[in-house]
């Protein structure tokens, strides 16, 4: 039994961050019902690609119809959590704003997940991960010296700063409710989350230990002992030998003696050291370097592609990856709880596939469900 067993979550269908937040809750036992738009005909959707829908059920409702709005309100009366992905004001226009919903269910956790947040001059604007992390300062951290910022795909804003922190906020609000008995509204903004993830770097900068000149700092490829290096077969090794004892193991593995190894913290030779490390790493294959450094404290590991990770011995021993939705490889639920662990199931619903079941659970009879279908209120 997962730690969130018995928690009822209504997730309004949206893009990456909201379904990820819902997936985290579903992985740990919550009953997550995704509300999709009621389609006019058969849904054209490949459920085998819906990795973020794993473990959920899907209900189709036409929220442009007052009957659909009322139906969702009925669902929310017995729910614990609502997650909504819309721009500020949309839920209010639909008649589903926090005041209305909370009046029907004062214990509801109402999570609003957006890019810019509920307030601020940018709040009504469209945007994507790259824009949110740009304004947060996080995007400025990624890239090499003298080169343009490189977006780390959409992991920082959408998933870490957005979906993951939203799920954490929901968990905290659920815990607080055990003491107060009251729900609350969560304003989860990806711009806030991306900035929060950068707290450590803000601290470094404030202490004079981080430069705004990208690619010149210890952790952003400015130091030769914290970087990636190409191997002779066109693959890469990661190096993170910050502490002196780890650096000693690194240079030993690279073939240096203690007397001829480059001085670790001599910044005047950083470029020369990086060039030397580059040449050495290119002299062997990734497999050869892996053999040399595995089992050492050099903080060196191969850079694996997504298609390789499940086969690595360490990942295999931990069962870090499982066969998921569509028969593809996906990460297992994380983090790991000793008594009530999460589980990444291998099923995801087609949009609206569970409409009858969800509404039957709500107490609607077959005739009432049929009438709603005939009126195009539900899918």
pLDDT of residue 40: 47
d(CA 379, CA 351): 9
pTM of the complete model beyond 0.85: yes
Residue 257 belongs to some domain of the structure: yes
DSSP state of 57: E
Residue 124 belongs to some domain of the structure: yes
The number of C-alpha atoms within 13 Å of 264 and in the hemisphere containing its C-beta is 17
DSSP alpha helix (H) spans, the chain: 17-27, 66-77, 90-93, 98-104, 129-136, 165-180, 190-197, 199-206, 244-253, 270-281, 286-293, 313-318, 355-362, 366-374
Looking at the structure, tell me whether residues 129 and 88 fall in a common domain.
Answer: yes
Looking at the structure, tell me whether residues 270 and 330 fall in a common domain.
Answer: no
Looking at the structure, tell me whether residues 158 and 91 fall in a common domain.
Answer: yes
Give Rg (Cα) of the chain: 25
d(CA 245, CA 243): 6
Looking at the structure, tell me whether residues 273 and 128 fall in a common domain.
Answer: no
d(CA 247, CA 261): 10
Catalytic residues: 128, 158
Residue 71 belongs to some domain of the structure: yes
Low-confidence ranges of the chain (pLDDT < 70): 39-49
Looking at the structure, tell me whether residues 183 and 291 fall in a common domain.
Answer: no
Cβ-contact 238, 161 below 8 angstroms: no
Looking at the structure, tell me whether residues 155 and 62 fall in a common domain.
Answer: yes
Determine the structural domain holding residue 149 and report its residue range. 8-197+323-374
pLDDT of residue 305: 97
Which of the listed residues 245, 270, 302 is the one where a domain comes to its end? Answer: 302
Q: Starting at the edge strand that comes first in sequence, how are the strands of the sheet with 184-189 ordered?
A: 57-61, 31-37, 8-12, 81-84, 109-114, 184-189
What is the torsional sign of CA 205, 208, 214, 219? negative
Residue 148 belongs to some domain of the structure: yes
Residue 307 belongs to some domain of the structure: no
Cβ-contact 237, 302 below 8 angstroms: yes
Residues 6+ apart with CB under 8 A from 20: 52, 158, 159, 162, 163, 164, 167
CATH code of 347's domain:
3.40.50.10540
pLDDT of residue 46: 58
Looking at the structure, tell me whether residues 164 and 20 fall in a common domain.
Answer: yes
d(CA 362, CA 57): 14
d(CA 112, CA 189): 8
Looking at the structure, tell me whether residues 186 and 275 fall in a common domain.
Answer: no
Residue 16 belongs to some domain of the structure: yes
Looking at the structure, tell me whether residues 129 and 263 fall in a common domain.
Answer: no
pLDDT of residue 45: 52
Residue 216 belongs to some domain of the structure: no
| pLDDT tens digits, 45-90 | 555 568 899 999 999 999 999 999 999 999 999 999 999 999 999 9
Residue 128 belongs to some domain of the structure: yes
- Write the burial class of residue 126 (CB in 10 Å: 0-12 exposed, 13-18 middle, 19+ buried): exposed
Number of domains forming the structure of the chain: 2
Looking at the structure, tell me whether residues 181 and 111 fall in a common domain.
Answer: yes
Q: CA distances (Å), 368 to each of 57, 264, 301, in order?
A: 20, 74, 60
Q: CA distances (Å), 370 to each of 176, 358, 373, in order?
A: 40, 14, 5
Residues 6+ apart with CB under 8 A from 92: none
d(CA 189, CA 169): 11
CATH code of 276's domain:
3.30.1540.10
Looking at the structure, tell me whether residues 15 and 94 fall in a common domain.
Answer: yes
Looking at the structure, tell me whether residues 254 and 190 fall in a common domain.
Answer: no
> Which of these, 47, 1, 56, 49, lies nearest to 24 by C-alpha position?
56
């Amino acid at each position: 039994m997962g730690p969130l067993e018995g928690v009822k979550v209504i997730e309004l269908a949206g893009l990456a961050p909201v379904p990820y937040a819902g997936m985290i809750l579903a992985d740990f036992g919550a009953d997550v019902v995704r509300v999709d738009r009621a389609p006019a005909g058969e849904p054209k959707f490949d459920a085998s690609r819906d990795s973020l829908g794993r473990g959920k059920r899907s209900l189709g409702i036409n929220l442009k119809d007052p009957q659909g709005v009322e139906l969702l309100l009925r669902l929310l009366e017995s729910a614990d959590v609502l997650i909504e992905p819309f721009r500020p004001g949309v839920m209010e226009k639909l008649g589903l704003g926090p005041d209305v919903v909370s009046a029907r269910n004062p214990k509801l956790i109402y999570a609003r997940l957006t890019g810019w947040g509920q307030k601020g001059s940018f709040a009504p604007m469209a945007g994507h991960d790259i824009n949110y992390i740009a304004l947060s300062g996080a995007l400025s951290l990624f890239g090499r010296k003298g080169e343009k910022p490189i977006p780390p795909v959409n992991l920082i804003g959408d998933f870490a700063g957005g979906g993951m922190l939203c799920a954490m906020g929901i968990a905290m609000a659920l815990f607080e409710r055990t003491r107060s008995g009251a729900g609350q509204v969560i304003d989860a903004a990806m711009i806030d989350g991306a900035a929060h993830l950068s707290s450590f770097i803000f601290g470094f900068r404030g202490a004079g230990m981080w430069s705004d000149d990208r690619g010149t700092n210890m952790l952003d490829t400015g130091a030769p002992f914290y970087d990636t290096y190409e191997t002779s077969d066109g693959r890469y090794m990661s190096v993170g030998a910050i502490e002196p004892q780890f650096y000693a193991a690194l240079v030993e593995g690279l073939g240096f003696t203690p007397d001829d190894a480059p001085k670790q913290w001599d910044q005047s030779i950083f470029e020369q050291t990086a060039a030397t490390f580059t040449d050495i790493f290119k002299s062997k294959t990734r497999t050869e370097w892996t053999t040399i450094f595995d089992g050492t404290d050099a903080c060196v590991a191969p850079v694996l592609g997504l298609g390789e990770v499940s086969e690595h011995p360490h990942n295999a021993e931990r069962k870090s990856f499982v066969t998921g939705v569509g028969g593809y490889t996906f990460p297992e639920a994380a983090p790991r709880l000793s008594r009530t662990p999460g589980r990444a199931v291998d099923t995801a619903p087609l949009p609206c596939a569970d409409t009858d079941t969800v509404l039957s659970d709500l107490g609607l009879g077959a005739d009432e469900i049929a009438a709603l279908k005939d009126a195009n209120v539900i899918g």
